Amino acid sequence: MDARVEKVLNLPTYQRALIVLVIVTAIGAGFYFTVYQGQVDEYSKLVERRDAAQVQLQKNQRIAAKLKVYKEEYAKLQEDLKLALGELPLKKEIPSLLTNIGALAKEKGLDIIRFQPKGENVKGFYAEVPVALKLSGSYHQAALFFDAVGKMERIVNIQGLKMGSGKDVDGKTNLAIDCSAITFRFIEGGTAQAKKAKKGGRR
């Protein structure tokens, strides 16, 4: 038997127990620092990843649950846009639209003193098309004309309305009416056309 082992065996019981305790403690400490602690750290990282994945999964599930609603809202917005664009005439329709405005004025009994289309004002995907109007007629005739313009299929706004003092003509009071009729047209190419127009204006 090894002399060192024999020497240990001959020690009092409490000393042998103390040696065993030291050895077990050393082995335990070595296992903890070399194996167990690394596994604990790895486990903590895996738990964090799992929790993050669960949060992302719940978020995706909420989005998926609302996906149908989003699609329906998008389809409605597309339909609304289509209807809105339908109220903006194309360039080739502008002359007939302006003719219709003049015809409405005559239909309501107004005399057209001036009907002067102005330059377009590009606003991105649409352009403002103003027309300076100078009319003559009664207040009632003017009100009927503005009401008819407001009911046109295409969008036409009356702006800058001014009514001068009335003049008696054949027993009726005629007013001098100045205003601008502004309609809008759709620009194919939208923003790109607007930028091109701005560049051209700076030359």
pTM over 0.75: no
Q: 38-62: string of b/e by CB count within 10 Å (b at 16+)?
A: eeeeeeeeeeeeeeeeeeeeeeeee
pLDDT band at 191 (very low <50, low <70, confident <90, very high): very low
E strand residue ranges, 120-171: 121-122, 126-137, 156-163, 167-169
d(CA 141, CA 143): 5
34-55 average pLDDT score: 79
CA distance 78 to 51: 39
Q: Please give the average per-residue pLDDT across 64-76, as a whole number.
A: 81
What value does the mean pLDDT take over residues 8-22?
Answer: 70
In the predicted structure, residue 193 carries a pLDDT above the cut 90: no
**Above 70 in pLDDT, residue 45?**
yes
Provide the CA 10 distance to its chain's centre, in angstroms. Answer: 89
- The token pair at 9 is 């065996």
Burial class for 109, CB neighbours closer than 10 Å (0-12, 13-18, 19+): middle
**109 Ramachandran zone, left/alpha/beta (phi>0; psi -120 to 50):** left
pLDDT of 152 higher than 80? yes
The two three-digit tokens of residue 4, written as one number: 């060192």
Q: Residue 179: what pLDDT?
A: 92
Task: Decide: 139 and 175 in contact? Cβ < 8 Å.
Answer: yes
Instruction: Give the pLDDT of residue 195.
Output: 47
DSSP string covering 24-51, please?
HHHHHHHHIIIIIHHHHHHHHHHHHHHH
Residue 147: predicted pLDDT: 92
Stronger pLDDT, 133 or 67, i.e. the higher one:
133
Q: At 127, which amino acid appears?
A: A
Q: Write the CA distances from 174 to 92, 130, 146, integer angstroms.
A: 35, 25, 16
In CATH terms, the fold of domain 93-190 is Alpha-Beta Plaits (3.30.70)
Q: What does the pLDDT average to over 129-152?
A: 90
Integer angstrom CA distances of residue 56 from 53, 64, 120, 142: 5, 12, 51, 64
Tokens of 60: 């995706």
Any idea which residue has 């649409």 for tokens?
Answer: 126
User: Structural domain boundaries of the chain?
Assistant: 1-88, 93-190
pLDDT tens-digit map of 82-137: 666 555 555 666 777 788 888 999 999 999 999 888 888 888 778 888 889 999 99
Mean pLDDT of 133-150: 91
79: confidence class by pLDDT, cuts 50, 70, 90: confident
